[in-house]
Amino acid sequence: MQGPREIYRKIKNYRLSQKIHPVRRIDRVAPVPGRRVVAITFDDGPCAGPARPGTEPLTLGILEALKEAGAKGTFDIIGSTKFKYPDVKGANGGPYWNGVGYDHYPEFGQDHLGGAVNQPDLVKRIVADGHQLSNHGFSHAAFGPNKYPYASRRFLPGFDAVVEDLKALDEYVTALTGVKMELGRPPHYIDRIVGGYDAYDAYRALGYLYLGAHFDGGGWQASSGDFATDVDNMVRPLQAALSEDPGCLNGSIIFHKDGYNMSSEAPALEGLKRQLEVLKAHEYEVVTVRELLEMSQFTDLSPDDPLYPAAEALLRAGYIVAYADNRVRPLNKITVRELNRMSVPAGVPYANRRSAGTERAGERAAEQTGEHIGDCAERAWSRGLFQIVSQRVGPPGLAGRHFGKSSKVERTDIVAACQEVVSQMAIGEEENLRRNVLIESRSRETGGTDVTRGEAILLLAAAFVGV
């Protein structure tokens, strides 16, 4: 029988699979041809506390282990939890081990040993060693309420508070290191934000991708009472998975800890060293999430797929190509609503949203990022592209709006829309002709009346970016 967490996870994944969104959740990407590549993320640090039962500072130990293995990591850091008192400590081994009202890292009463604000030199060392930083929230406060297992935990009161918390860490890290973070992971993966928003709205405001994970590297569970057993419990699942299928983690993100487990111990360091040995034995490269995405962007579209160059070109130009779960689903028939959203760069607010709540979230996201559509000629021109596509393929009288969610797009309409888009671009006669020829040839290569998402991507890429 499935527990509440598994049921909730399935519901959330289904919702992501139905939502075209500029923020993609990156759990894994399509395997990189000819190589085995994986990324490891480290949550809740940096940590200057000892890697118990040893005495070496935990984050420094992780950095040395990565260096020795020739590996790069992605550190999902916090700002500080020292401001979250008064609070009381919960029982070791349970979800409140480090605080009943709030999380405290690396442990209750020792907040000065953790977080970027308290350990700036560790953050600088992470960057200097070539690793990537991700935003796990300044205070590590939950974005919203969670009945199980954190019913007693306090949470941020709404969208503005979540964005403010994220921006505080983002700006601190930029000032400290000169690095602009590109990823975010909600504390405890709690996506819901009070007021009808979610983590995807907040990350859109910061220009982030959602950092997920595909494989649990362990190190966070309560201790078995024996350190060697705790380390074995981290390594055994990885060994078993790769023994059964050596390529099963190619393109995956592995979750890991840069902190103590729920018993205030640190098997994470020794477990990591052995996991790196296992990965090396199976010929894996360990890279940052940024490097992984440079090799392979999507979960269901391989870099050697003929569609990949067009999809990646649109993505890099700022267009929305994939669903929130990072899948392109190229064989699905594209709907009018999807095509409308795909014809506007991610910085341009959608013409219509599912609810007033998400409408306000989009407006606030635009305010947070400083987007002023009317003041930007390029953005205004992009909205013109949207209007052309919408008028050509949408139901009569509803141009410019996201009606027709289930309405299929006819080939003649999208071809005509793409040609009209090209005719209005200031790209020169020769480039105009080249793009029109590309549109025509791609239209002839495919058949039938309805258009798949993959075919639409090829046509939009030809029109919008000439690829």
Decide if 132 contacts 141 (C-beta within 8 A): no
* Distance (Å, whole) CA 111 – CA 22: 35
3-state secondary structure of 74: strand
255 token code pair = 């979750």
Least confident of 36-45, 272-281, 290-299, 385-394: 385-394
CATH classification of 31-292 is 3.20.20.370, yes or no? yes
Chain segment 52-93, per-residue pLDDT in tens: 999 999 999 999 999 999 999 999 999 999 999 999 999 999
Express each pLDDT in 143-192 by its tens digit.
Answer: 999 988 899 999 999 999 999 999 999 999 999 999 999 999 999 999 99
pLDDT for the residue 465: 93
- Whether omega for the bond prior to residue 187 falls within 30 degrees of 0, making it cis, is no
* Residue of higher predicted confidence among 426 and 298: 298
pLDDT reading at 13 higher than 70: yes
pLDDT at 296: 98
pLDDT band, residue 424 (cuts 50/70/90): confident
Which residues lie below 8 Å from residue 170, measured CB to CB, with a gap of 6+? 135, 180, 181, 206
**Rounded Cα–Cα distance for residues 32 and 166 (Å):** 32
Q: At CA 214, angle to CA 212 and CA 217, rounded to 5? A: 100
Give me the pLDDT at residue 446, please: 62
The mean pLDDT value for 113-136 works out to 98
Question: Which has the closest alpha carbon to 124: 112, 113, 133?
Answer: 133
- Residue scoring higher pLDDT (443 or 202): 202
Which region holds residue 370: left if phi is over 0, alpha if psi is between -120 and 50, else beta? left
Residue range 341-387, pLDDT digits in tens: 888 776 544 323 333 333 344 444 444 444 332 333 334 344 445 66
**Whether residue 136 has pLDDT greater than 70:** yes
Instruction: Write down the pLDDT at residue 290.
Output: 98
Angle (nearest 5°) at CA 232 between 248 and 94: 100
Average pLDDT, the chain: 88
Burial (0-12, 13-18, 19+ Cβ within 10 Å), 322 = buried
* Distances in whole angstroms, Cα of residue 96 to Cα of each of 60, 103, 221, 264: 26, 8, 12, 12
Higher-scoring residue by pLDDT: 124, 362: 124
Instruction: Round to whole Å and give the CA distance between 81 and 247.
Output: 39
Q: Give residue 443's pLDDT band: very low, low, confident or very high (50, 70, 90).
A: confident
CA distances from 341 to 89, 101, 351, 352, 372 (A): 47, 41, 8, 10, 19
pLDDT tens readout for residues 88-113: 999 999 999 999 999 999 999 999 99
Where does the pLDDT of residue 408 fall: very low under 50, low under 70, confident under 90, or very high at 90 and above?
A: confident
Q: Residues of the chain with pLDDT > 90: what percent? A: 74
pLDDT of residue 308: 98
Give the relative orientation of helices 120-128 and 58-69 as an angle to the nearest 10 degrees.
10
> Would you place residue 392 in the very low, low, confident or very high pLDDT band (cuts 50, 70, 90)?
low
Query: Which position has the higher pLDDT, 383 or 292?
Result: 292
**Average confidence (pLDDT) over 110-135:** 98
For the chain, which residues make up each domain, given as ranges?
31-292, 334-464
Q: What pLDDT score does 101 carry?
A: 97
Give the H/E segment covering residue 273: helix 268-281
- Asked if pLDDT for residue 403 goes beyond 50, the answer is no
- What is the C-alpha end-to-end distance of the chain, expressed in Å? 49
Q: With bands split at pLDDT 50, 70 and 90, how would you rate the model's confidence at 390?
A: low
pLDDT level of residue 292 (50, 70, 90 thresholds) = very high
**Cα separation of 143 and 157, whole Å?**
8
- Highest-confidence segment of 15-29, 209-223, 396-410: 209-223
Residue 20 in this model has a pLDDT that exceeds 60 = yes
